Amino acid sequence: MSEQEHQEHSEHIVPPTTYLAIILTLLFLTGTTVWAAFVNLGRFNIVVALVIATMKATLVVLFFMHAKYSPKRTKLIILAGIFWLAILLFMTLSDYISRVDYRGVRFPMTQVIQQLPAQRT
Amino acid sequence: MHRTGELYGQFKTLEQQKESASLGMWIFLITEVMFFGGIMLAYALNRHVYFPAFAAGSNTLSLKLGAFNTVVLLASSFTMAMAVWSSQVGKKNLIPIFLLLTITLGFVFFGVKYVEYSQKFEHHLVPGKKFDIFFCVNNPSSCPDVAPDELQEESKLLDEAKAADPDLNSHAQLYYSAYFGMTGLHALHMVIGVGLLLWLLKNSLAGKFTPQWNTPVDIVGLYWHFVDIVWIYLFPLLYLIDRHK
Amino acid sequence: MSNIAATPAKTLPEHHYLNATYGIRSWLLTVDHKRIALLYLASVTLFFFIGGFFAMMIRLHLLTPSGYLLSADTYNRMFTMHGVAMIFFFLIPSIPAVLGNFFIPLMIGAKDLAFPRINLLSWYVYVVGALFTLYSMISGGLDTGWTFYTPLSTVYSNSAVAPAVIGVFITGFSSILTGLNFLVTIHTMRAPGMTWFRLPLFVWAHYATSIVMILGTPVVAITLALAGMERLFGLGFFNPAMGGDPILFQHLFWFYSHPAVYIMILPAMGVISELIATFARKQLFGYHFVAAASLAIAVIGFLVWAHHMFVTGQSTYAALAFSFLTFLVAIPSAVKVFNWAATLYGGSISFDTPMLYAFGFLGLFLIGGLTGLFLGCLGTDIHIHDTYFVVAHFHYIMVGGAIMGYLGGLHFWWPKMTGRMYPEWLARIAALILFVGFNLTFFPQFLLGYLGMPRRYHVYPPEFQVYNVMSTAGASILAIGYLLPMIYLTWAAFYGKVAGENPWPATGLEWKTPSPPPTENFPVTPVVTWEPYDFHHRPDLGLDPVSTHEIMPAHGDD
């Protein structure tokens, strides 16, 4: 037969109180991310925003989508999806980030506004 | 033809059928992750290269409406989870109620999006020939919905951004390409989601879902939660780029 | 090869999937995976002809260096449409949607795929996408190259880009649905006793292919969507005039299109595993390694895409990483080739047509794969990028590899699909013609590329004419090699000799059901107790059990 380790999905029924706790946490995190946006953290604003968003997403995946109570295979699929997204993002960005010309000068993709156009001698 | 709840011919047990449906939906959601991932990459790159333009674009969005929509979608995920729970414990009369709540919240989201989109059209913020990020600042009478002190603020920010990026208007179009692309794609997925929810509603009113067979509620729930997760990321990425000035 | 003693005349089963129901509606609304496979067979064959027509135009035009036949613009459309038709509408669906659809449920002992209606939907999605693309072809065609590079495709091209982009976008979902169906089916629908390591390698290959379809196709979907929106609505991600980046398009495009080539070759490799085990009458050497290699190719294949972009100005460090990974991805392919060779060693080999195609695959895939290493190496790629070397490389793999696998599989399973055997000697001659034609067409192209003839040019220096004429001559012979099977396989489906349940004999579960199979595949769900390709412990195959060396070679009933 198919997967032996499969647990009947609906055998574990998540109680509404758990859902309530999760939604309240999600609302709190939403408030936090808005508040954090008004704090000047420079380059780290995006990091904080993404970390909070990921926390929210994790809660939705684990509890609302029952991933915590799903068979291992489901968890593997989720991780594979995240991993592949990471490949797409990081390997592509690795090209752009590591562009250095023969003089050792970092050169941009099209133009980078922070630097003045006449950078070449 | 078959009645809902009956075993389809190719399966041997209801268990196998449910397992297959669930697995199928998770795999489909992974394809959606990669689908949105592509446009996320375009966003990430362009935001890095044209930060001033992206910041300027982000600040023209209404934080209130964006945050409100975020709360609306999170709440809809809660009501969806409750709909699934109702079907799991056999509370058949609760299922349509929670589904209806979810659908309503979905429509609220659409309503807010409609307001936001029409605002963008009026303010000449749609990529194309008429795009002009300075439109409201230069023509305050054409943008009555923006308060004068907000316009002042915006004017200051735009001047700063233009000093950093002489080609601000051109690059702000890239921000709006990302905005319309990402939120448009998301809205399209929500429309499909609402369609599925309406179909579920119809079947739940007919009492079709039982603890032994609630697979459609379950897998539509998975889809709906995914759509919520996309918005969880879109909100900070589009609305909160540079609010701290 | 000796004729065996006269056996009682075989007859077709009374009821099977082909005569279960009649009428066009029973075909167009079928949910039987076997009928859907035949629907796909018809569609992909149509597109093979369309792609073949464009190929013919290319080769005829290239007979002369100064291009008398077509204008530059028209030539651009010819090679573009050849690529689009062949890649998206023939090669990607071919083995999975025809042979995979037909045989995966049979091979695992299931009644059908997990989602039969989604299977039918995938065919209709293919048809809709195909119609958009045909519209593009008819309304003047596309001239951007099958790669749709921006900003040519999004801004400057005057050709029918939008319908083609929409068509390919839609057809991508056909791929996604097929992959999804296969993954779930293989996980949840295996018969009792059919454990993962008893699965035929054909199934493993399709599992790996499905992973690639699922993870890669959505990226090309969003890429084409963005390109389409740029063309239609002026979005600017890929347009330098607006600050966009054409290289971003290339990254996104190749993120799918490189794994796409593994979608095209992995199923063929799966077929080859079946053919070699059957026609060497020997257990496949290193079964676990071949299965693992399929997965390794699928995974590592996602890490190498920027080797198509070495000359675009991308970061040297990134190029280094991608080049290294490209060399790495060759390893699992090599593992497979060694395992196939080891299977042949000591086997009892017979030269039926499917085996001829398998041999062709081995040699031609080897050449194609090795020449890929020249391309994956940064220094040499500068010299041969965008030349006919590349064209020859990928045709050796796509035609010498994938199409040989497809034809070998079609011949191998034709008796199961139709209940009738194809004419063996004619098929062998056709395979030989194909092999000769293929090499004559594409080997000169390696030389042309190395000598510097660029691809996608409608004219070339006169000193290259000899090789081009050779190539066109080869293409004519190749065409005959393709036409013959189309004719005799069609003939054989109606008038061929009745084949019986297991003409070869082969060890898969699909051979334990009548030919053609009944709609429900197996009257009783089989229980699997044997290992794959185990010719020794299968008394039901009717083989001489005395010793390996005295076993009669595999053959259809002559």
C235/B127 CB distance under 8 A: yes
Residue in chain A lying closest to B63 (CA)? A34
For the cut 90, the answer to whether the pLDDT of residue A2 exceeds it is no
d(CA C128, CA B177): 28
d(CA C91, CA C47): 10
A3 inside 8 A of chain B by CB: yes
B193 inside 8 A of chain A by CB: no
B42/C248 CB distance under 8 A: yes
C218/B10 CB distance under 8 A: no
B49 inside 8 A of chain C by CB: yes
B101 inside 8 A of chain A by CB: no
How far B205 CA sits from the closest chain A CA (Å)?
21
d(CA C552, CA C279): 11
- Residue C536 binned pLDDT confidence (cut-offs 50, 70, 90): confident
A73/C187 CB distance under 8 A: yes
User: What pLDDT, on a 0 to 100 scale, did the predictor assign at position C553?
Assistant: 58
Q: Once rounded to an integer, what is the mean pLDDT over residues C136-141? A: 93
* Average pLDDT, rounded, for chain C: 93
B128/C215 CB distance under 8 A: no
Three-state DSSP state, A106: strand
User: What pLDDT, on a 0 to 100 scale, did the predictor assign at position C318?
Assistant: 93
- Full pLDDT tens readout for chain B, 245 residues: 344 556 777 888 888 888 999 999 999 999 999 999 999 999 999 998 889 999 999 988 999 999 999 999 999 999 999 999 999 999 999 999 999 999 999 999 999 999 999 999 989 899 888 888 888 888 888 888 888 888 888 888 888 888 888 888 888 999 999 999 999 999 999 999 999 999 999 999 998 898 888 999 999 999 999 999 999 999 999 999 988 76
C190 inside 8 A of chain A by CB: yes
A51 inside 8 A of chain B by CB: no
For the cut 90, the answer to whether the pLDDT of residue C5 exceeds it is no
C7 within some domain: no
C247 inside 8 A of chain B by CB: no
Q: Which residues of B touch C216 (CB under 8 A)?
A: 34
Q: Which residues of C touch B12 (CB under 8 A)?
A: 525
Q: What is the pLDDT of residues B153-211, one digit of tens each?
A: 888 888 888 888 888 888 899 999 999 999 999 999 999 999 999 999 999 999 889 88
B188 inside 8 A of chain A by CB: no
Facing A95 at nearest CB: one of C188, C190, C318: C318
Q: Which residues of A touch B175 (CB under 8 A)?
A: none
B52/A92 CB distance under 8 A: no
Neighbours of chain A (3+ CB pairs under 8 A): B, C
| Cα angle: C450, vertex C453, C454; to 5 degrees | 110
Q: Which residues of B touch C214 (CB under 8 A)?
A: 27, 30-31
A81/B243 CB distance under 8 A: no
B18 inside 8 A of chain A by CB: yes
Q: Once rounded to an integer, what is the mean pLDDT over residues C229-254? A: 90
d(CA C148, CA C2): 55
List Cβ neighbours of C490 (8 Å cut-off, separation of 6 or more): none
Facing A93 at nearest CB: one of B44, B88, B232: B44
What CATH code is carried by the domain that includes residue B167?
Answer: 1.20.120.80
d(CA C269, CA C294): 9
Which of A65, A78, A110 has the highest number of chain B CBs within 10 A, making it the mutation to test binding with B? Answer: A65
- DSSP string over C204-264: HHHHHHHHHHHHHHHHHHHHHHHHHHHHHH---TT-GGGT--HHHHHHHHHHHHHHHHHHH
User: What pLDDT, on a 0 to 100 scale, did the predictor assign at position A109?
Assistant: 53
Please name which of C167, C7, C1, C19 lies closest in space to residue C80, comparing C-alpha atoms: C167
- Domain range for residue B25? 18-239
Report the domain count for chain C: 1
User: What pLDDT, on a 0 to 100 scale, did the predictor assign at position B5?
Assistant: 58
A92/C251 CB distance under 8 A: yes
How far C184 CA sits from the closest chain B CA (Å)?
6
Instruction: Classify the C-alpha dihedral B157-B162-B167-B169 as positive or negative.
Output: positive
Please give the distance of CA C140 from its chain centroid, rounded to a whole number: 28
A84 inside 8 A of chain C by CB: yes
Please name which of C203, C161, C210 lies closest in space to residue C181, comparing C-alpha atoms: C210
User: What pLDDT, on a 0 to 100 scale, did the predictor assign at position A113?
Assistant: 40
Q: What is the pLDDT of residues C400-420, one digit of tens each?
A: 999 999 999 999 999 999 999
**Percent of chain A beyond pLDDT 70?**
74
User: What pLDDT, on a 0 to 100 scale, did the predictor assign at position C545?
Assistant: 59
User: What pLDDT, on a 0 to 100 scale, did the predictor assign at position B1?
Assistant: 37
Three-state DSSP state, B11: coil
Q: Over C402-425, what HEC string results? A: HHHHHHHHHHHHHHHHHCEECCHH
Q: Which residues of A touch C317 (CB under 8 A)?
A: 94, 98, 100
**Percent of chain C beyond pLDDT 90?**
87
A91/C245 CB distance under 8 A: no
Q: Which residues of B touch A46 (CB under 8 A)?
A: 241
Q: What is the pLDDT of residues C75-101, one digit of tens each?
A: 999 999 999 999 999 999 999 999 999
B40 inside 8 A of chain C by CB: no
Stated pTM of the model? 0.93
What CATH code is carried by the domain that includes residue C159?
Answer: 1.20.210.10
Report the domain count for chain B: 1
Q: Which residues of A touch B27 (CB under 8 A)?
A: 77
Q: What is the pLDDT of residues C433-490, one digit of tens each?
A: 999 999 999 999 999 999 999 999 999 999 999 999 999 999 999 999 999 999 999 9
Q: What is the pLDDT of residues A41-82, one digit of tens each?
A: 888 899 999 999 999 999 999 999 999 999 999 999 999 999
B42/C226 CB distance under 8 A: yes
Q: What is the pLDDT of residues C66-77, one digit of tens each?
A: 988 999 999 999
User: What pLDDT, on a 0 to 100 scale, did the predictor assign at position B136?
Assistant: 87
Three-state DSSP state, A42: coil
B81/A78 CB distance under 8 A: no
Domain boundaries, chain A: 1-70, 71-121
B174/C242 CB distance under 8 A: yes
Q: Which residues of A touch C306 (CB under 8 A)?
A: 91, 95
Please give the distance of CA C265 from its chain centroid, rounded to a whole number: 6
Q: Which residues of A touch C190 (CB under 8 A)?
A: 1-2
Three-state DSSP state, C148: coil
How far C365 CA sits from the closest chain B CA (Å)?
30
Q: How many CB atoms lie within 10 A of CB C547?
A: 7
User: What pLDDT, on a 0 to 100 scale, did the predictor assign at position A115?
Assistant: 40
Contact, C329 vs A102, CB < 8 A? no
A98/C318 CB distance under 8 A: yes
d(CA C364, CA C387): 20
d(CA C467, CA C62): 10
Q: Could you tell me where the DSSP H helices lie in A1-121?
A: 16-37, 44-59, 72-86, 92-97
Please name which of C203, C399, C364, C362 lies closest in space to residue C279, comparing C-alpha atoms: C362
C37 inside 8 A of chain A by CB: no
Facing B18 at nearest CB: one of A9, A61, A63: A9
- In single-letter form, the type of residue at position C10 comes to K
User: What pLDDT, on a 0 to 100 scale, did the predictor assign at position C54?
Assistant: 97
Q: A108-117, B173-182, C18-27, C240-249: which has the minimum mean pLDDT? A: A108-117
Instruction: Classify the C-alpha dihedral C337-C339-C344-C350 as positive or negative.
Output: negative
Which of A113, A114, A116 has the highest number of chain B CBs within 10 A, making it the mutation to test binding with B? Answer: A113
- Domain range for residue C338? 30-550
CA dihedral B132, B138, B142, B144 (to 10 degrees): 110
Facing C237 at nearest CB: one of B10, B19, B174: B174
Residue in chain B lying closest to A26 (CA)? B74
C113 inside 8 A of chain B by CB: yes
A95 inside 8 A of chain B by CB: no
How far A119 CA sits from the closest chain C CA (Å)?
18
Please name which of B74, B66, B67 lies closest in space to residue B179, comparing C-alpha atoms: B66
Question: How far is CA C48 from each of CA B123, C40, C363, rounded to the nearest angstrom?
Answer: 51, 12, 23
Please give the distance of CA C402 from its chain centroid, rounded to a whole number: 4
User: What pLDDT, on a 0 to 100 scale, did the predictor assign at position B67?
Assistant: 95
User: What pLDDT, on a 0 to 100 scale, did the predictor assign at position C90?
Assistant: 97
User: What pLDDT, on a 0 to 100 scale, did the predictor assign at position C240?
Assistant: 85
Neighbours of chain C (3+ CB pairs under 8 A): A, B
B6 within some domain: no
User: What pLDDT, on a 0 to 100 scale, did the predictor assign at position A6?
Assistant: 41
B70/A30 CB distance under 8 A: yes
Please name which of B21, B228, B203, B223 lies closest in space to residue B95, comparing C-alpha atoms: B203
